[in-house]
Amino acid sequence: MSEIKNEKQGKLIVFSAPSGSGKTTIVRHLLKQPELNLEFSISATSREPRSNETDGKDYYYLSLKEFKNKIKTDEFLEWEEVYRDNFYGTLKTEIERIWSHGKHVIFDIDVSGGLRIKRKFPEQTLAIFVKPPDLNELVRRLKDRGEESEEKISMRVSKAPAELATAPLFDKIVINSNLDEALEESYTLVSDFIKG
């Protein structure tokens, strides 16, 4: 069924959204709930680490050459060139590692990658789209982070309408206008899926 080698296959929980929707906050909250038995899938990327990021914790940082070599040797479950020469992807070994611990995998991943995982593992995957209340709120959240240039923010915002258009392709949509409610709804969706 899959190119992932592991007898103990758990569930796959995908959270996707435009940047600034709050998916990372939701994923971090769910990881703190021990009864869900989740482990975070660390993505690989060819981009440079930000000042507060650590290799092997936030991402696996690869050179552009290393990333392209791993594409050639079919080491990714999914990958995408999100921005020019900025690749992101999920290494098959990462899923194998998490399943070998007897845990379920949770992803904080872009829309295309999330949908690819859902297509490859339709029964095992719960794909949740996190929607901001509106585009203005998205822009405000990105600016409030204070992490990126106006140019980077504009790039992210320009992608948002196309990403929002994919929401109906996901299993569930969580609208994050009130964070506490979004956290509660996400917890219930994930908990029910794992038990199901």
Encode pLDDT of 51-83 as tens digits.
889 999 989 999 999 999 999 999 999 999 987
Among candidates 39, 156, 41, which has minimal Cα distance to 101? Answer: 39
* Whether this model's pTM surpasses 0.85: yes
pLDDT digits (tens, 9 = 90+) for 147-196: 778 888 888 788 888 999 999 999 999 999 999 999 999 999 999 999 98
Distance separating alpha carbons of residues 62 and 18, to the nearest angstrom = 24
87: pLDDT strictly greater than 90 = yes
What is the model's pLDDT at position 59?
94
What 3-state DSSP class applies to 107?
A: strand
Amino acid present at 144: D
The CA angle 175-176-180, to the nearest 5 degrees, is: 120
pLDDT digits (tens, 9 = 90+) for 34-54: 999 999 999 999 999 988 899
7: pLDDT strictly greater than 70 = no
Name the helix (H) or strand (E) containing 82.
strand 76-83
How confident is the model over 124-134, as a mean pLDDT?
94
2: pLDDT strictly greater than 60 = no
CB 104 within 8 A of CB 124: no
Partnered with residue 126 across adjacent β-strands are 13
Residue 114's pLDDT band (boundaries 50, 70, 90)?
Answer: very high
Least confident of 80-84, 116-120, 128-132, 182-186: 80-84
Torsion on CA atoms 144, 147, 153, 156, rounded to nearest 10 = -110
Distance separating alpha carbons of residues 159 and 19, to the nearest angstrom = 9
DSSP state of 103: -
Q: Please, which residues have CB within 8 angstroms of residue 68's CB and are 6 or more apart in sequence?
A: 87
CATH class of 12-195: alpha beta
DSSP state of 43: P
What is the model's pLDDT at position 122?
94
| Sign of the alpha-carbon torsion through 113, 117, 119, 123 | negative
Find tokens 């956290």 and name the residue: 183
How confident is the model over 92-118, as a mean pLDDT?
94
27: pLDDT strictly greater than 60 = yes
Q: What's the mean pLDDT when you consider all of the chain?
A: 91
CB 9 within 8 A of CB 102: no
What is the model's pLDDT at position 1?
36
Residue 3's pLDDT band (boundaries 50, 70, 90)?
Answer: low
Distance separating alpha carbons of residues 151 and 141, to the nearest angstrom = 15
